[in-house]
Amino acid sequence: MSITITNVRAILTAPEGINLVVVRVDTNQPGLFGYGCATFAYRALTVRSLVEDYLRQLLIGRDAEAIEEIWQLVHQNAYWRNGPIENNALSGIDMALWDIKGKLANMPLYQLFGGKVRAGVPVYRHADGRDIEELCSNIERYRSQGITHIRCQSGGYGGGGFGLAPAGSPDGAASGVYLDPRGYMRATEAMFDTIRSRIGEDIELIHDVHERLQPIDAIRFAQALEKFNLFFLEDAIPLEQGDWLRELRAKSSIPIAQGELFNHPLEWRNLITERLIDFIRVHLSQVGGITPSRKLQIFAEQFGVRTAWHGPGDMSPFAHAANIHIDLAARNFGVQEWSGTEPPNSVIQELRGPRDALLDVFPGLPEFRQGYVYPNDKPGLGVDFNEAEAAKYPCEHGVTTWTQTRLRDGSLHTP
C-alpha cells in the first residue's frame, strides 16, 4: 500500500518566549507522521495560514515518500517563488517528510545522507558582556565546557535596546535601536585586543557584524581585525550589497562567513563558485528545508566552502536537529552555531537560565557534551513534540522592535 499524506497542520508555540512554528504531516499508515520546522518568528501567523489554508489541500492524497517531487510542487505552485514566507512553510513540510522517511527506514537521518564522517559536531556559542570583564569571564566559563569556538560581542552590534532617539538626533526622530557604526568599530577592535591578551590564541574567535556597516567601512573593519586571527567574520556586507564581497576578499585575508538572510540560490551561487566566502551560513528553514540545504552543502564542497549553518533561538528544535544530521554527514563542515540543549547544571545554564520548558515541549533534542553535540539516534530527526505542553506557551504577535534600527539622524538602517 502506498503511503499518502492525510493531513498537514501548523502548530505555534513559544516555550522560551520566541514564536516557533511546527508542521506535522500525517499519513494513512497508523502511527506514521513527521514533524518539521517552519519558524518565521516575526510572521508566524502568515506561515501558518499558508500551510493550512493552501498547502494542506495541495498535499492531501499525495505520496509521502516523494520528497523531491513535493518540494518542487510546493515551490512552484504559487507561481512566484522563494521568499521567507513560502520557504519556511515549505521547510516545515520538507523536514516532516524527511522525518517520515527516516522512520520508514528505521534510521536516523544522517544515515540516509551517507552516514557519519565525524562522531560529534563541534559547536560555537555566543559570549557577550556589559563590559570587557564580564565578557572575558563568560568566555572562560564557556571554555570550561569544552567549547573551542566562541562568538564575541560586547553591547550588541553597535546599538543598544529599543528606545527614544539619543541626544544629537534631529527633533522628531522616531524611536528605534540607534546605531553608532564608527564607535562600534573602535570598541570591537579594542575588545579583541583585550581578549587575545587575556585569553590567548588557543580559542577560535568569531564576530558577527550583522550587516550594520557600510561596505567600505566593513572592509576597513575586516583589515583592522586581521591581527586577531578570527575563525570568521560573519555578515560583514549587507545582503543588498553582495558585489562588495569581491572588494572585501581582495583587500583582506580574514575568513568570511555569509548567508543568514539568504532565500534564493542566486544569492549564494556566485559567492561559492568565485570563492568569495569561506563559510556558508544559511538558515535551513529560510531556504526551504533539508532538501535544498543538502544540495547547497554538496555544491559548496566542490569549491572548498565550508558550512556553518545558522542556529539561533528563533528556530525550532526540529531545525536544530536537521542542522546536526547534515553536519554529521558533511565532509565540508566547518562549525555549528548552537542554541539547543544544555548539560544539567552547566555554566551555560547559568548564563542563559534553565531550558526545561523547551525540553518538555520537544523531547529528544540532540545533546551537548563537552564542546560537541550528538544526536540521539532515533529514527528520522529524532525529536518528538508534546502538543499538550506546547499549548501552555502561546505565541505573541506584537510589533517587532529590535529590527527598527536607525542611524544618528533617525534614518532606518538594516538590522
The domain in which residue 253 lies consists of 111-378
Residues 118, 209 share a domain: yes
Catalytic residue among 126, 149, 207, 210: 210
340 within 8 A of 382, measured Cβ to Cβ: no
409 within 8 A of 169, measured Cβ to Cβ: yes
Q: Select from 343, 373, 365, 358 the least CA-distant residue to 144.
A: 343
Residues 351, 246 share a domain: yes
Residue 414 covered by a domain: no
Residues 70, 48 share a domain: yes
**The pLDDT value given to residue 219:** 98
Residues 141, 40 share a domain: no
**The pLDDT value given to residue 347:** 47
CATH of residue 9's domain is: 3.30.390.10
Residue 147 covered by a domain: yes
Residues 222, 94 share a domain: no
Q: State the virtual CA torsion across 356, 358, 362, 364 in degrees, nearest 10.
A: -50
Residues 246, 104 share a domain: no
Q: Which of 87, 108, 129 is the last residue of a domain?
A: 108
Helix (H) or strand (E) holding 299: helix 290-301
Residues 304, 168 share a domain: yes
In whole angstroms, what is the distance from residue 254 CA to residue 31 CA? 50
Residues 155, 88 share a domain: no
Residue 126 covered by a domain: yes
Residues 362, 260 share a domain: yes
Catalytic residue among 110, 142, 157, 178: 157
Active site residue 374: no
Residue 115 covered by a domain: yes
Residue 408 covered by a domain: no
Residue 20 covered by a domain: yes
Residues 28, 170 share a domain: no
Residue 390 covered by a domain: no
Active site residue 210: yes
DSSP string across 231-298: SEEES-S-GGGTTHHHHHHHH--S-EEE-TT--SHHHHHHHHHTT--SEE---TTTTTSHHHHHHHHH
CATH of residue 136's domain is: 3.20.20.120
Count of alpha carbons within 13 Å of 95, Cβ hemisphere only? 37
**The pLDDT value given to residue 130:** 86
Total domain count, the chain:
2
Residues 365, 268 share a domain: yes
Tens-of-pLDDT digits for all 415 residues of the chain?
799 999 999 999 999 999 999 999 999 999 999 999 999 999 999 999 999 999 999 999 999 999 999 999 999 999 999 999 999 999 999 999 999 999 999 999 999 999 999 999 999 999 998 889 999 999 999 999 999 999 999 877 778 889 999 999 999 999 999 999 999 999 999 999 999 999 999 999 999 999 999 999 999 999 999 999 999 999 999 999 999 999 999 999 999 999 999 999 999 999 999 999 999 999 999 999 999 999 999 999 999 999 999 999 999 999 999 999 999 999 999 999 998 665 554 544 554 555 688 989 999 999 999 999 999 999 999 999 999 999 999 999 999 999 999 999 999 999 9
Residue 407 covered by a domain: no
Model's pTM, two decimal places?
0.95
Residues 92, 133 share a domain: no
**The pLDDT value given to residue 384:** 97
